[in-house]
Amino acid sequence: MMIIFLGLFVGLVMGLTGAGGGIIGLPLLVFFLDMAMVDAAPIALSAVAAAATFAGILGLRKGIVRYKAAIIMAVAGSMLSPVGVLLAHKVDNQYLMFLLVIILVFIAYKTIRDSHSEINLEQDKLVPCSISTNSGRFIWTRKCSIAIVFSGAIAGFLSGLLGVGGGFIIVPILNRFSMLSKESVIATSLAVIALISISVLLSTAVHSYINWSLVMLFSAGAVVGVVLGKSLLEKISAKYLKYGFSLLLIIVALMVFLKDLSS
């Protein structure tokens, strides 16, 4: 079925990037299944929650999830996610789709730009969230705390508003403000996404109907996809991942834009 294949693809992207699952899952459901964004959002987010939870547990078992940062982000996000959910039911579908297109294009641009930026991450003074050489955990400072709380809050709000996981915010911030490895950034991001997505789903279930049969099919595909993505992570260069992700975002943005024009 189409919805299982879409879920598989979304999970694959999540496993490879630690982000992008929700941001592409929602428009794919809107475009291919002709769903309104308000209806598609909880389905997309359910798949993101399932796949991210599974991947987050694997990361915890490997000891690469910075769980304190993940919990702080999730708490901040959970406080603003209900605001996003309420706003989503008051804003016209076309405006939500237009906002989604803008976000997709911006993320694509920033991903490409950052891939060309040469930031010397070995200089601790440029990295607010330094890592302890003894424990491998964050050395918490005021700047680090602000970055972590702010990213979680914005991710939660956009999760509620657009049904996205928020990894497209969390991953760049962890990359920019910390010296975590690629695997740790992705694992931590997925743990945050799982916690925020579950919070948003609870808020959404209170305010609207959720098609649980579609949720189960989409989520099953996403869990399989995230396993495939994580198995391929070490085999693909980070540079090619960024370029591929950016191209995918542009394609999806174009699909949403055409769908918005035709509606």
Residue whose pair of structure tokens reads 């060309």 in the numeric block:
116
- Its pTM stands at 0.74
Tens of pLDDT along the chain (263 residues)?
789 999 999 888 888 876 666 678 888 888 888 888 778 888 888 888 888 888 888 888 888 888 889 999 999 988 898 888 888 888 887 888 888 888 888 888 887 777 665 444 444 445 678 877 777 678 888 888 998 999 889 888 988 887 666 777 788 778 878 888 888 888 888 888 888 888 878 877 776 778 888 989 998 998 898 888 888 877 777 778 878 888 888 888 888 788 777 76
Range of the domain at 144: 2-262
- For the chain, the farthest-separated pair of C-alpha atoms sits apart, in whole angstroms, at 57
Of 151, 111, 96, the C-alpha closest to 250 is: 111
Measured CA distances, 257 to 69, 97, 104, 176 (Å): 35, 8, 11, 30
Q: How many domains does the chain have?
A: 1
